Amino acid sequence: MIKKKPTSLAKIIKSTIFYLFVTTLGVGILLPAFFLVSLSFLSTREAYQFPLPLLPALSAKYSLTFGDRGYLLSVYDDFDDEYQTVLDTAELEKMSVYMRSQIGAPYDIPDIEDRIAELESGTDPVYFKARKNLLLNYDLFFKVTRDAVPALIRSLQIAGMTIVISLSIGGMAGYAFARYVFIGRDALKFSVLFVRMFPGVAIALPMVIILANMGFYDQPIGLSLVYSVGSIALTVWITASIFMGIPESLEEAAQVFGATKFQAFLKITFPLALPGLAAAAMYAFLGAWNETVSAIILTQFNPTFAVVVYQTLLGAVGHVNLAAAGGLAMAIPSVIFTFFIRRYINQMWGGVTV
């Protein structure tokens, strides 16, 4: 039996402070994102209140009384602690639509009729409650965003192809960079920087026209080719770094034991480099996933997810909660991807430096 030294109080305090600090830091980093998430669950009415609710309400309290034009609908406001009138109408459908889309707490027309009957029978005002539909914005987003699912699949596919193109083309150069001494090696290193020095926005349109002329209009592969331009340069650096981290002697051993250079690469270096390459794919993925400018111009029947989101949100003036939901729907795949890729980052930036 091994006796453990009792943990000292100072140590406990120290580690508590440390974790408090780390937690605060994490919360600080995520705070803007938290509000974005929270916003995406708020109803339109909530989203335009001040102060903005930190969390969405789970139900809405209504009151109904007589109004100038018909019936006066009021909604309970938690912050002001009072009912506020919102609608004066005789049209029950309008009232129902309003409750569904603005308050986010739907109430069916027959139920409204019941409440009105109560009101007519002398109870004034009539109070009632409705459950909030928290996913209202997401519902609306996917309802309005036509072909969201095929676009989502297409976007993943384009991101995947971008990864394949930039990792294969960039990876080949990265491998050459890591394993060979050749004329122009340093030039390659700095040209990677130079590609990034030229403002990409200035040549986006001409680049798209080149591709369209080559017959890649409205084809996923065409977009992948555009996105690869941006990501190949960085991939060269990152993959060079990865390959430098794999001892050359492993490959040489394979050659001595009967493998061709290509077999040696395929059977030894490639499987070993795979995790690092997966991480390198992150840059290609994020770039391809989030891009809209070229995608809008270059697609017609096969839009990417970013394009359909853009199309939906273009008109989301007065609808920030919907914009938040759309933005988050777009962010989810990249966040998941980031989660899986994070442990391989040290392979990416280990070797090549300026």
Rounded-to-integer distance, Cα 238 and Cα 1, Å: 49
User: Looking at this protein, which amino acid is placed at residue 285?
Assistant: F
The nearest distance, CB 1 to other proteins, in angstroms, is: 25
The reply on whether position 141 binds other proteins by CB under 8 A is: yes
Residues 146-185 that bind other proteins (CB under 8 A): 146, 150, 154, 156-161, 163-164, 168-170, 172-173, 175-177, 179-182, 184
Inter-CA distances, 15 with 7, 9, 23, 24, Å: 11, 10, 12, 14
Residues 14-43 that bind other proteins (CB under 8 A): 18-19, 22, 25-26, 29-30, 32-33, 35-36, 39
For 81, other C-beta atoms within 10 Å of its C-beta total 7
The nearest distance, CB 123 to other proteins, in angstroms, is: 21
The nearest distance, CB 266 to other proteins, in angstroms, is: 12
The reply on whether position 135 binds other proteins by CB under 8 A is: no
Q: Which two tokens stand for residue 297?
A: 């111009």
Q: Residue 87's Cα: distance from chain center in Å? A: 36
Strands (E), the chain: 59-66, 71-77, 82-89, 126-131
Residues 39-78 that bind other proteins (CB under 8 A): 39, 44-45, 47-52, 54, 67, 69, 72
Task: Considering the complex, state which of residue 3 and residue 182 has its C-beta at the smaller distance from other proteins.
Answer: 182
Task: Considering the complex, state which of residue 81 and residue 122 has its C-beta at the smaller distance from other proteins.
Answer: 81
User: Looking at this protein, which amino acid is placed at residue 7?
Assistant: T
Residues 181-220 that bind other proteins (CB under 8 A): 181-182, 184, 188, 193-199, 201-203, 205-213, 217-220
Residues 266-325 that bind other proteins (CB under 8 A): 267-268, 271-272, 274-275, 278, 281, 286, 289-290, 292, 296-298, 300-303, 306, 309-320, 322-324
Rg (CA), the chain: 29
Task: Considering the complex, state which of residue 121 and residue 175 has its C-beta at the smaller distance from other proteins.
Answer: 175
The nearest distance, CB 115 to other proteins, in angstroms, is: 18
Closest CA to 123 of 61, 84, 66, 77: 66
Q: Which two tokens stand for residue 41?
A: 């669950």
Paired sense of beta strands 71-77 and 59-66, if any: antiparallel
291, containing H or E segment: none
Rounded-to-integer distance, Cα 70 and Cα 88, Å: 6
Task: With CB under 8 A as the rule, give the number of residues binding other proteins.
Answer: 166
SS3 (DSSP) at 254: helix
List the x/- string, 86-125, binding to other proteins by CB under 8 A.
Answer: xxxx-x--x------xx-----------------------
